[in-house]
Amino acid sequence: MPQREPPVNPEPPPAASPHTGRDAPPVSRDERRTRRRNEMVTAAVEAVRTHGAGVSVAEIAARAGITKPVLYRYFADRADLQRAVGEHAVGMLMQRMVPALSAELEPREQVAAVVDAFLAGIEEEPQLWRFVVHNPVEREAGTELVDDAREQIARMLASLIGERLRAAGRDSGGAEVWAHGLVGMVQSAGDWWLERRTMSRTAVTGYLTSLIWGGISGTLDGATGDRFPGNGSAGRSESTGADDGDRTGPGTRPGAGSLRAVPDPPAAGEANR
C-alpha cells in the first residue's frame, strides 16, 4: 500500500507576539515576506548541502516544507532563487575573508592569511560554491555573483596594497591591477584544487603565497634595489645593511636575491599531508 505524504502547510501564519498594546508594533507585510524569503534561502542552502550542486527546485521546496508554487511566490524564477542563495554564500565567504584583510600582519603573512581564508571558505562549503559558480542551469546568475564578489575582494585588496606601498614611500599605481589579477588567480587555483584535491589546503596556500609574494617583492626590489617591508631579513648583513642575496654579480639577475626570502613550497612528499 503506497505511503501517503504528509500534508504540506503552504505558509504558516505569523507567530503571535507575546506583547500586547503599543509595546509591539505590528509586523508589516513586507517584513513578513522578507523574513519568509530568508527562511527559504536558509532551506535552500541546507538542500544544496544535502543533494549537491544539482539540487532541484522541488528538493529545495521540500526542504522548506512547502510546494514549488508557494516557493515561486517569493522568487521570480530559478535564477532569482540562485542569486539569493549566492548572495548568502558570498556573505559567508566575506565573513571569513574580511578579518584576514583587516588584520595587522606582516605583508607576506597577510597574503597567506587571505589566500587561506578563501580556500577554507570553499573547502567548507564545496557544494554551495559549485551551486553558485558552476551551476549549468543558471550559469549567468552565478557569473554575476562571482563578479560582484571578486570586485568586493579586489577593492579591499587594492586598498590594502596601496596603503602598504604608500607607507613604504613606493608608487601605488599598480595596486588595482595587482589586486584584480591576484583575485582571479586565486579563484582559478581554488576551483582547480576543489575538483582535484591532489594536495592539502596548507600546501596550496604555500604555493600561491610564494608565487604572489615572490612576484610583488621581486618586482619592487628589482625596480628600486631596496627591500620591500616584510620581505624578510634573514640574510641581512649587520655591517652593510644589505642582504647577501641581493648582491648583484656577473650573471646575476637584478632583484633575484629578493626571492631568497620566499620559503620554498612543500616538498612533493609533503604536499598531501
Chain segment 56-109, per-residue pLDDT in tens:
999 999 999 999 999 999 999 988 998 899 899 999 999 999 999 988 888 889
State if pTM tops 0.85. Answer: no
Rounded Cα–Cα distance for residues 58 and 163 (Å): 49
* Mean pLDDT, range 180-186, rounded to an integer: 94
| 236 phi and psi angles, rounded to 5 deg | -75, 135
Computed on alpha carbons and rounded to an integer, the radius of gyration of the chain in Å comes to 25
Rounded Cα–Cα distance for residues 72 and 89 (Å): 21
Rounded Cα–Cα distance for residues 172 and 195 (Å): 36
107 close to 135: Cβ distance less than 8 angstroms: no
pLDDT for 8 beyond 50: no
161 close to 175: Cβ distance less than 8 angstroms: yes
Looking at CATH, the fold of the domain delimited by 98-232+244-270 is given as: Tetracycline Repressor; domain 2 (1.10.357)
Give 173's DSSP letter: T
Neighbours of 61 (CB within 10 A): 22
pLDDT band at residue 220 using 50, 70 and 90 as cut-offs: low
pLDDT of 252: 41
State which amino acid sits at residue 13: P
Give 236's DSSP letter: B
